[in-house]
Structure 1
Amino acid sequence: MEMNDIEVSEDGPVGWITIRREDRLNALRMNVTDREIVTALADFSGRTDIRAIVITGSGTRAFCTGWDMEDIEESSLTDLEALIRQNTQLFNAVWRQRQPVIAAVNGHAVATGAALAMSCDLVIASDTARLAEPEIRHGALSPFLILPFLTHARAVHEFYLIGDAIGAAEMSRLGLVNRVVSADDLHIQAQAMAERLALVPREALELKKRSLKAAYDAMGLRAATERHTLADTIMIGADLPWKRALATAMKEGGMRAFLDVRDSPFKRR
């Protein structure tokens, strides 16, 4: 498969997937970028010489800022549910990848970008990284309900219910990242962590990861994400006055106008 939005590379036993849409802050094109990432993961899964995988974004401003909303068109409720389930497939592909996956968060990780980072097994963040799930402000829900399984309840509630971004120091305090490093050292440190993983016997490493994922499922992860997918479909498909106002702002003024209408009330507080 020809890759248009990502670059796939290798460095010794480490596979790298780099989102290359820097001009769009590494936002994903629906049915394009996500499918390329899933395909790259599947290709690496068949390789016994690739022992760990790193996912990152190009440039220094953004890891991934979610879906490129200017490319999203209106869909029927049935099509919408299929798109949201496909979105979930992206996170599951990372979460259940045979090899350990490291997120090298090089800037803003927003919405689907935040979920993509949090679905990785390990996370290294630059000191400029920021994590945000602002979807609730425009009538959507977090695409992958993973944080209740990663950190404590009050922080999860505030993060999901208000939608404010948190910086690298707060991510570290909440245990959402393994390391915070300088932006200049991010690539080197991610490669070093992946090479450290590669020293572990392959079979033991993969079986341990499988056992860890089974533990999360026993705690209810699979059931929770399934129910959440349906809730997200209902919310995104709802025809509400304030959602129509946001859609109008996007149509008439583009992304900047949309964000201004969505986020200005929160900035004033």
Structure 2
Amino acid sequence: MAYDFTTITLDVSNHVATLTLNRPESRNALNSRMCVELVQAAERLAADPDAHVVLIRGAGPVFCAGADLKERKDMSTEEITARRVRGFTAYAAIERLPQPVIAVVHGAAFGSGCEIAGASDFILASTEARFKYPEVGWGTIGATQRLPRIVGVRMAKELLFTGRVVDAQEALTLGMVNHVYSVEELPVRAAEMAAQIAAAAPLTVRLTKRCVDQGVETTREGAMAVEMLAIEENLRHTDWKKAISSFGSSGANTSRDAATSPAANPGSDGARSTDRPAGAQS
């Protein structure tokens, strides 16, 4: 299934949704229209039972070069504020998707590109990937909430204060990305991982995501309560006995829950407080 947008593309095939930032002539710079379309795409994906996992990519040689500064040149202070809010809303929409979201980063991910990638559950990067938080150098503020939760407070301050470029290997060391692959290997590995996740029971995956995201924001006791509630919901809505009985067989990881009710979309209530809350450069 494909959807019609102007600044992004969205396709769902074999339970894998691929959302592509599609302004290659502008290095996929985030403009107002893209902010709106990212929110629209996230809303459609959250309601699509066929989409089990989401990949976010960039068209052309970079992932996203940041905000579209040309768009901002003639904006008033009020218009800039409204534009920043639209960016925050787009990042939050990605972050709150109930499905696992994987950013597949090649080339530059600067400013808004870092925030889009950071709003994903994790990042797979190519050896050519580069990350940069240039907000302070532009005389503005942004990316102050997700980044510290990813790399720690002290390193986040260094990256924000200096705006220096982080290459793929350092990003791996810092925990900004999960894996680094060659340019040729990245799309293959991303597709393999997405297919593996998509083969699992979708409700179970969504509940697991919700447990992690909510659990890290509360006490250990509160987190265990979150997990117990998720376990109970999973038992009620999935064929867990079949999954256990098939363990070790060729179909061990292919069980599906058939629930299409709101219970099968646990993230749609905005419950994902996340380890990377909204509040970012756009």
Q: TM-score range by the shorter chain?
A: 0.7 to 0.9
Which 10-residue stretch deviates more, 2-11 or 107-116? 2-11
1:4 corresponds to which residue?
A: 6
- Give, in whole Å, the separation in 2 of the partners of 1:73 and 1:210: 40
**1:180 CA drift (Å):** 0.4
SS at match of 1:56: strand
User: CA 1:217–1:87 in 2, change beyond 3 Å: closer, same or farther?
Assistant: farther
Tell me the CA shift for residue 26 of structure 1.
Answer: 1.1
- TM-score w.r.t. length of structure 1: 0.77
What does the per-residue CA deviation read over 1:147-170, in whole Å, with 9 as the maximum and x for residues that have no partner?
Answer: 111123332111111100100000
Any residues of structure 2 matched to 1:181-260 within 5 Å, and which?
Answer: 181-218=181-218
1:138 partnered with 2:138: yes
Within the candidate set 18, 21, 26, 1:19 is matched to 21
Task: Judge conservation of contact 1:91–1:144 (CA < 8 Å) in 2.
Answer: no
Q: Highest CA radius of gyration, 1 or 2?
A: 2
Aligned positions of 1:1-269 closer than 5 A:
2-30=4-32, 32-59=33-60, 61-143=61-143, 145-218=145-218
**In structure 2, distance between residues paired with 1:15 and 1:176:** 23
- Matched position secondary structure for 1:9: strand
Distance, in Å, in 2 between the alignment partners of 1:175 and 1:157 is 15
Deviation at 1:109, TM superposition (A): 0.2
Aligned to 1:246: none
Shift of 1:197: 1.2
Q: Specify which structure has the bigger relative contact order, considering alpha-carbon pairs within 8 angstroms and separated by 6 or more residues.
A: 2
Identity of aligned residues (%): 27
Contact 1:115 1:144 in 2 (8 A): no
Q: Which amino acid aligns with 2:41?
A: A
- Deviation readout 1:198-251 (Å, 9 max, x if unpaired): 1322112111212222234449x78x967x67xx89xxxxxxxxxxxxxxxxxx
Asked if 1 retains the 8 angstrom alpha-carbon contact of 2:106 and 2:129, the reply is yes
In structure 2, distance between residues paired with 1:149 and 1:215: 14
8 Å Cα contact 1:96-1:213 kept in structure 2 = no
Structure with the larger helix share: 1
The superposition leaves residues 40-87 of structure 1 with CA deviations (integer Å, 9 ceiling, x where unpaired) of: 12112111121000001012x210011111122444444433322221
The two structures have a TM-score, normalised by structure 2, of: 0.74
Contact 2:72 2:80 in 1 (8 A): no
Cα displacement (A) at 1:175: 1.1
- The one-letter amino acid of 1:42's match is E
Task: Give the CA RMSD over aligned residues.
Answer: 2.4
Rounded to whole Å, the distance in 2 between the matches of 1:150 and 1:225 is 11
**Contact 1:28–1:66 (8 Å) recurs in 2:** yes
Q: Distance in 2 between matches of 1:4 and 1:143?
A: 26
- Alignment partner of 2:154: what SS? helix
On the 8 A contact 2:36/2:86 being kept in 1, the answer is no
CA distance in 2, matches of 1:146, 1:36: 22
| Unpaired stretches in structure 2, ≥5 consecutive residues | 220-272
